[in-house]
Chain A
Amino acid sequence: MTESLLQEPMLTGGLDDHWLATRPPNALDSASLAWLEELRADGARRDRRVRELHAHLVRVALREVSRRRGMLGGASGPELEDIAHQAAADAVVSIMEHLDDYRGASKFTTWAYRFVINEVSTKTRRHLWSARRVEFDDYDWERLPDRLTRAPDAQVAQSAQLAALRRAVDNELSPRQRYVFVAVALNEAPIDVVALQLGSTRGAIYKTLFDARAKLRVSLAEAGYPITDAERGS
């Protein structure tokens, strides 16, 4: 089933709120209206549309799973097909459960794609996690300078800034923030895998990472190593 992103904690960003509040009344295009009417119908008419939706989402899922083959390591062809078929089947169930949430703000099919892609992501991360149960809490800080761009003459200044960053990671972050920051930002672990590892969700882990980064920026500014000119006076 869809692990709904709709239930995750929100960040505070609000630039898109105006659009949400003021968008025009929805005018369904004819194809979307047909999907909606027939999926809400009874009997054979509805069943035919459900089968059509399922077949459509299977194609989308198969292509997406194939594209993520590299992420899935040693998964065999039948395993990939199985992931795709499960994703499509679960997406159809979720779509039928959420049909009343569809307001026509987008095409019905585009709205449906987010369900099946969300299912592919969920199943992909489960596969990744079951195949590769690794911890991400250690980081070789000596590697960090090689990941960062810098001006040729700025090596000394950056070394001091990174030393301050390391101190802030060790001393300012909560244990959970530290784990998530080290895993996702430094070790480049997939955020979905870290979410599964911690029994959490993508949105919650992203929020933890966001808060950790914000805290580190403040710490760096206070230590005399602001990231931006605006933070210089903070």
Chain B
Amino acid sequence: MTQRLTIAELLQADPNDIGCEQGFALISEYVDLEVAGGDAAARFPGLALHLATCPACRIDHDAILDAARTEQPTT
């Protein structure tokens, strides 16, 4: 579970990080773009930065992406 970090990663605080709240607001657009093969990180760089820094939001993102890629409504 523990992985080695640089001290810069331990103290990651980039002002372009949009945080959990705004990230949550944009996450479904980000995921749709990823599923469509687009460059989501280029369109939403602040969210990409946040997902690289916030493990909780990254886990949620991965779950939403997995659902969007695999789930099909029954009708």
Contacts and interface: CB of A to CB of B under 8 A. Distances in A.
Contacts, number: 170
Interface of A: 5-16, 19-20, 31, 52, 55-56, 59-60, 63-64, 67-68, 105-107, 109-111, 113-114, 117-118, 120-121, 147-149, 158, 161-162, 165, 185, 188, 190-192, 201-203, 206-207, 210-211, 213-214, 216-217, 220, 227-228
Contacts of A216: 11
Find the residue from A15, A149, A207, A217 having the highest chain B CB count within 10 A. Answer: A15
Given A114-B64, A206-B54, A107 B20 contact: no
Given A56-B73, A107-B32, A192-B56, A6 B24 contact: yes
B28 A106 contact: yes
Contact of A19 (B21, B44, B66): B44
B27 A107 contact: no
Provide the main secondary structure of the chain B interface.
helix
A9 to B, nearest CB: 7
Interface of B: 1-2, 4-8, 10-29, 31-32, 35, 43-47, 49-50, 54-57, 59-60, 63-64, 66-68, 71, 73-75
Nearest to B68: A110
A92 to B, nearest CB: 14
B49 to A, nearest CB: 7
A130 B59 CA distance: 21
Contact of B4 (A7, A114, A148, A220): A148
A106 B28 CA distance: 6
A116 B20 CA distance: 16
A227 B19 contact: no
10 contacts: A6-B21, A16-B45, A55-B74, A67-B63, A113-B64, A148-B10, A192-B56, A206-B54, A227-B7, A227-B11
